[in-house]
Amino acid sequence: MTQERARVIKIHDRDNVAIVANAGGLPSGARLPDGTVLLEAVPPSHKVALADLPAGAEVIRYGQVIGKAARPIPRGSWVDESLVLLPEPPALDDLPLDTGHAPALPPLPGYSFDGYRNADGTVGTKNLLGILTSVQCVAGVVNVLARRIREELLPRYPNVDDIVAVNHSYGCGVAINAPGAAVPIRTLQNLARHPNFGGEAMIVGLGCEKLEADRLVPQDERHACAGCGGCGGEGPPVLLLQDEAFRGFGDMMAALMRMAGERLERLNRRRREPCPASDLVAGVQCGGSDAFSGVTANPAVGYAADLIVRAGGTVMFSEVTEVRDAIHLLLPRTADIWVGRALLKEMAWYDRYLAAGGADRSANPAPGNKRGGLANVVEKALGSIAKSGSGPIVDVIGPGERVQKSGLVFAATPASDFVCGTLQLAAGMNLQLFTTGRGTPYGLQMAPVLKVSSSQALSERWSDLVDVDASRIAGGGATIEEVGWEIFRLVLDVASGRKRAAADRLGLYNDLVLFNPGPVT
Ligand code: CA
């Protein structure tokens, strides 16, 4: 049997390391195409030194310094995480505010999808009854409610896809006026306005909590419901369990079921209609990354992100700790100095947030990232930002804020999958592109999540859990452009309800998790 040809991926001419592309790794003695002979076995997606690196030498991948050699590293060695010392992050104060270097992408007209158009101009990709809660105290009642709605009411409304109960741990026992409280509060307010709830979300509160349930009613509806009759005489979509009219659980449930029924009636009348691709608001995220992520899945998603932006749509990228070390590459892509300043402000805020918690950016990556060949957060960041494509960054929004502009937007969020997912939903995301190398069954009930696999091993092992196999790029079986177009077409199909994401097919949904930088009391 002939031995498999050694394959490595070197991204930039300057790189002095490359990653092993063979699915089973490479043995000691294997000869690479450039003549390098491996001095030891190297696992798949891990790095090999292409040159002799003296102690302290810069280790270069993506044409960027990912760290310094901890000791002399001879050519052909496995460059594992212990050999790469984490460099200082780019200082925010010293960065020149040199913006506007990414040219606008050429328009891509003529693409559309079938979505649910809302009165506020947003477009839904699912038709869901949203049940928001103002405090954890009501979670038990809301869980029973959701179960009863699903069993007793939903079968009568075939055009409604599902019920989403947005339970969380916020709402009381918190410093509601602390500066950090603005984040979870606006997140809940904006979740209530999510395009997939079609303006029909109902809000369940207790009555004595710090976060008053009325505050979750969108501002515009709050005015409409102040006794003007504009809401059809139903009153605001809020129900408090402590309402004195209720004699026990049966009364509460009857009122809640009535409220749900009225909303389901209206949601059931919604129909999909052709909408231009410019109505897409896609989020991109990664989770369980490996060293392949930055050369297969993330660039393919980045290419798809460019296509969505070119079609007039909106793409949000996030995960502050995973862009922080590549900020010097992102800043020139901001459209102007105001966007540049906003980007730096979000980075600085997160630096302080981590410092206040006694942590720094080395808290990322996770052990699994390291087993996947990522030495540190710098290498992870350089691969991560590939998801943002190549276009100009036209806006920056804070955690929990709603997206305002079309184009590529940086939505500042933690990198935690469920927290980032929740915040991107609050921003108005109607579909998410999620790349993974190590594998995660992650999914969101509120919007379709398409999972893009970075490695051949994962694509084979989890063929029913991932939606797109980008590992073909590493093997030469497909180009970044081809996989990017495949993702874009799948986005239009899934947004239209013609195809289903793996997570929706299997019913795999993570809990929504609020980001609360404020104190708990
Ligand atoms: Ca993540």
Indicate the domain borders of the chain: 1-88, 116-267, 275-506
Average pLDDT for runs of 10 along the chain of length 521: 79 94 93 96 95 97 93 97 90 90 96 97 98 97 98 98 96 93 97 97 97 85 47 70 97 97 97 98 94 92 98 98 92 97 97 92 83 90 94 98 98 97 98 96 98 94 97 90 98 98 98 95 90
Q: Considering the entire predicted model, what is its pTM?
A: 0.93
Alpha-carbon torsion (111, 114, 118, 119), positive or negative: positive
Q: How far is the CA of 477 from the centre of ligand 1 (A)?
A: 27
Q: How far is the CA of 443 from the centre of ligand 1 (A)?
A: 12
Q: How far is the CA of 118 from the centre of ligand 1 (A)?
A: 29
56: three-class secondary structure by DSSP: coil
Q: Where are the beta strands (DSSP E) in 75-161?
A: 78-79, 84-85, 112-117, 123-124, 128-133
Q: How far is the CA of 209 from the centre of ligand 1 (A)?
A: 32
- For residue 164, the model assigns a pLDDT of 98
The CATH architecture to which 116-267 belongs is: 3-Layer(aba) Sandwich (3.40)
Residue 169 in contact with residue 187, Cβ under 8 Å?
A: no
Dist CA 309 CA 320 (whole Å):
21
Dist CA 302 CA 280 (whole Å):
15
Residue 238 in contact with residue 257, Cβ under 8 Å?
A: no
Query: 1-88 with 116-267: one CATH topology?
Result: no
Q: How far is the CA of 316 from the centre of ligand 1 (A)?
A: 13
Buried b (16+ CB within 10 A) or exposed e, 75-109: bbbbbebebbebeebbebeebeeebeebeebeebe
Q: How far is the CA of 429 from the centre of ligand 1 (A)?
A: 15
Q: How far is the CA of 390 from the centre of ligand 1 (A)?
A: 20
Q: How far is the CA of 160 from the centre of ligand 1 (A)?
A: 30
The neighbourhood of ligand 1, an ion, using CB within 5 A, equals: 287, 415, 417
- For residue 142, the model assigns a pLDDT of 98
Task: Report whether CATH 3.40.1180.10 matches the domain 1-88.
Answer: no
